[in-house]
Amino acid sequence: MARKILLDVDTGVDDALAIVLAAKSTDAQLLAITTVNGNVSLEKATVNTLKVLTLLNKEDDIPVIQGADAPLQRPCFFEHSVHGNDGLGGALPHCKPTAQPADGYAPDYIIEQAKRYAGELTLVMTGPLTNLALALEKCPDLPKLVAGVVYMGGAAFTHGNVTPVAEYNMYVDPEAAREVIHAGFAPLVQVGLDVTRKALLTRENIGSLVDSPVKQFIKTCTADYIKRYEARNNVAACALHDPLAVAYALKPELLDLEEMFVEVETNSQFCDGQTVCDRQQRLGKPANVNVATEIDSDAFLSYFLHSIQN
C-alpha cells in the first residue's frame, strides 16, 4: 500500500529531485507539498515547486501550500551559490506554472491533514523545520496524530556543509529544529550528512536515463550542482540529500538507524546549528531521534533511478 506523505520543501535542486521521486514513486501517495523559506525565498521555493509539478503534469493533482517566509528568530540565509539564483540551477527558465498555490498557511495545513489522516500521515521535511515548529506551537498534540516524521538535516558524526559542524537546514533555523526534536514525535528520523554524502548521482547515472523531459531537467539542474560538489569534495557527483529522506520514508530498509539523544546548538559563536548526537549515552538522557548512520547506497540509487522513470 502506498504511504501517505506530506512533503515540506525549500525547493532548490535536491528538493526538486525529491519532489520528482515522491510524485513518481508507486510507493508514495503524495497528498500535498508545503513550502518554506530556506535555499531560496518562500516565493521562489513555491514557484519552483509549481514548475516541477508542471513538468510532471501533476500541477492539478498535488496542492502546494505556502508557509513561513523567514526562520523563527533569525534572518534568511539563502544558498544561491549552491542552487543558483533561481534555486533550480537555471533549469525550466521558460516554464510557466499553470496552477497557483492553494489557499491556506502551511503550518495550519499540516495540522489539518494530520487530523484528517490520523495515524496514517508521514511528514517528510527537506528544508528548515520552521513550518513544523509553527504547527507544533498551534497544536502540541501533533506528534500523537502523525505516523512519523523524517527530516533531512544534521551531521551526527561528520563535518557540516555550512560551518565546520552545522548542516544547512539545522543552521538556518536551529530554534525550529530544537522545538521539533523535543516535541515527542515517534518515530523521528534524522537523515543527515552522514548518509546523504554517500547517496551520489553521477553524470553517467543521468546519462543512463531514458530520454524524456524529466531527464533533461535533471541534467540541466544538476550541471552546476555537480561542478560545485566536485570542486568542494573532489567527487564527480552530487549528493541526493533530499531524495534520500523521501526514499527512506518509502523504503526504510535503505538506512540503518540508531536511537540516541540529540540536541541542536542555538547559542554558540562557532557551533550554531550543530546536531549533538549522544551515541555513547554520556549525557544520560533518553533517546529522542532515530539517527541514520549507514546506507545501502547501491539499493538507494537503483530505487531512485527506477522510480523517477515511472
Which domains are delineated in the chain? 3-254 (3.90.245.10)
Which residues is 188 bridged to in the sheet?
149
CA 74 distance to own-chain centroid: 20
Closest listed residue to residue 139, CA positions, set 172, 185, 98, 202? 185
Q: Residue 54 corresponds to which amino acid?
A: T
- 275 sits in which H/E element: strand 275-278
- pLDDT digits 0-9 by tens, 29-53: 999 999 999 999 999 999 999 999 9
Between the CA of residue 142 and those of 104, 110, 149, 181, 256, what are the distances in Å? 18, 9, 11, 13, 26
pLDDT at 81: 78
Q: Which residue has the cell 544547512?
A: 168
pLDDT per residue over 230-288, tens digit each?
999 999 999 999 999 999 999 999 999 999 999 999 999 999 999 999 999 999 999 99
CA dihedral angle for residue 64, residue 309, residue 254, residue 191, rounded to 10 degrees: -30
Q: Residues in the chain with pLDDT < 50? A: none
Q: Residue 234 has what pLDDT?
A: 94
Active-site residue, 241 included: yes
- Phi and psi at 142, nearest 5°, equal -50, -40
Per-residue DSSP letter, 254: G
Helix (H) or strand (E) holding 276: strand 275-278
Q: For the chain, how far is it from start to end, CA to CA, in angstroms?
A: 17
3-class DSSP assignment, residue 26: coil
- Active-site residue, selected from the candidate residues 80, 94, 159, 241: 241
Q: Which residues pair with 8 in a beta bridge?
A: 34, 125
Q: What is the pTM of this model?
A: 0.98
Query: Residue 80: its pLDDT value, please?
Result: 85
